[in-house]
Amino acid sequence: MSNAPKLSNDCFALPPGVHWTPVDEALSNLRSRVTPVTGIEPVPTVAAGGRVLAAAVSPNRASPPYANSAVDGYGFAHASLVEGAQALPLAEGRSAAGGPFDGVVPAGMALRILTGAMVPEGIDTIVLEEDVTIEDGTLKFGTGLKKGANVRPVGEDVTLEDQVLPAGRILQPQDLGLLAAVGVDTVSARKPLRVAVLSTGDELRQVGEEVAPHQIYDANRPMLLDLVRRWGMEPVDLGHVRDDADMVKTMLSRGAAEADVILTSGGASAGDEDHISAALQASGTLNLWRVAIKPGRPLALAMWEGVPVFGLPGNPVAAFVTALVFARPTLLELSGAGWAEPRALVLPAAFSKNKKPGRREYLRARMNTDGQAEVFKSEGSGRISGLSWADGLVELEDEGRTISPSDPVKYYPFSEFGL
């Protein structure tokens, strides 16, 4: 599965007596207990988009690799210039990108040079073609040109001593361009984190199946599988399992064999039909983290056959919010990409609310055309349509607070959660 070290079976255990854990404390606890579990392999740069660098990258070539012209113009030695107007005879030939000048430009002479062309010996300054006139083979232009003008020196962007990209970087398209520019054809990358997704519950059916009046369609599985994909990880679809203890154990074992981490939804509390909790409890590794968050309930954290299990609530809104707030940074840490902390925008509120103390609240929200944060018409965690209506979350601190229109609030665009 992986050549990386495994997590210990008691890594999620909380100290005795812990009841309701504040969000920040829960995140800090998670961050301190997980480490990368993915293996490492060489990957061609051209195919490395979205992969996590396992080691820092050094350049094989400077960028630019040679001094080149920033403009179309004429090059010469700055020492050839005199006081007042300039008049330099033109040397035969030119220097173009892919067609360098073969020779040395004599002192006191100028050479035609095009953008990106290698600067030949004898040139250290270039004048724009728009600023000159040519008369009888003589280049004429005014005064005030500084030495080195319009010349890009070797290594102006990247030198051979620079670090190009750090370990843990999730490679973006622009990163691949940078790596190619400095001659890196292969990188050491983490294998994609494999995340198994499992839904539980007798009341669930899959879209396309017939449903009885007491049953509902499984919204969590397609939602969580796509979250995993968008986070650059490899989803492993374990499907849906009924509330049957033996079947739950079988599916957890399959997930442990096929994935690096298991993400479940539903069955994570302590009720009669919460078989995820029951199975994990029997394994001796279950810890229910009662996090002071709304929406959301206890996070079920455990190890199953050496693989971490992250149990989310069954309610789709709570599953989505807790996946963004807790699962994403944990999965990124497990993948080798490091812990990710979203950055908030402070916006004026377009709503009123009397927030009670005790729990951190996340409201489905979006930024309106006036740059204000407006929230969904209902805070009900069963209103899944609010997730599609929103383009982010408003975070309300643990303390009590009365919010009036125009008061500042923290707003997290979904883009801060990798969406």
| Alpha-carbon gap, residue 319 to 327, rounded angstroms | 10
Residue 16 has pLDDT above 80, yes or no: no
Question: φ, ψ for residue 76 (rounded to 5)?
Answer: -165, 175
Please tell us whether the domain made up of 42-63+156-190 is placed in CATH 3.40.50.2300: no
Do residues 105 and 88 touch, judged by C-beta distance below 8 A? no
How far, rounded to the nearest angstrom, does the alpha carbon of residue 395 sit from its chain's CA centroid? 21
Predicted pLDDT at 265: 87
What is the DSSP annotation of 196-230? EEEEE-TTEE-TTS---TT-EE--HHHHHHHHHHH
Sorted by sequence, the CB contacts under 8 Å of residue 28 that are 6+ apart come out as none
Q: Which pTM value belongs to this model? A: 0.86
Which region among 215-224, 336-345, 368-377 has the lowest average model confidence (pLDDT)? 215-224
- Which pLDDT score is estimated for 280? 75
Three-state DSSP class for residue 347: strand
3-state secondary structure of 88: strand
Q: What is the pLDDT of residues 299-353, one digit of tens each?
A: 888 888 889 998 898 889 999 999 999 999 999 999 999 999 999 999 999 999 9
Domain residue ranges in the chain: 20-39+192-335, 42-63+156-190, 68-152, 345-417
Asked if residue 17 has pLDDT above 60, the reply is: no
Question: Which tokens is 231 given?
Answer: 């986070």
The DSSP-derived string for 244-313 is -HHHHHHHHHHHHHH-SEEEEES--SSSTT-HHHHHHHHHT--EEEEE-EES---EEEEEETTEEEEEEP
Are the C-beta atoms of 34 and 11 separated by less than 8 Å? yes
Say whether domain 345-417 belongs to CATH 2.40.340.10: yes
Q: Which CATH architecture has domain 68-152?
A: Beta Complex (2.170)
What is the structure's pLDDT at 143?
87
Question: Locate tokens 């229910």: which residue?
Answer: 288
**CATH class of segment(s) 20-39+192-335:** alpha beta
Q: Nearest CA to 148 among 134, 127, 131?
A: 127
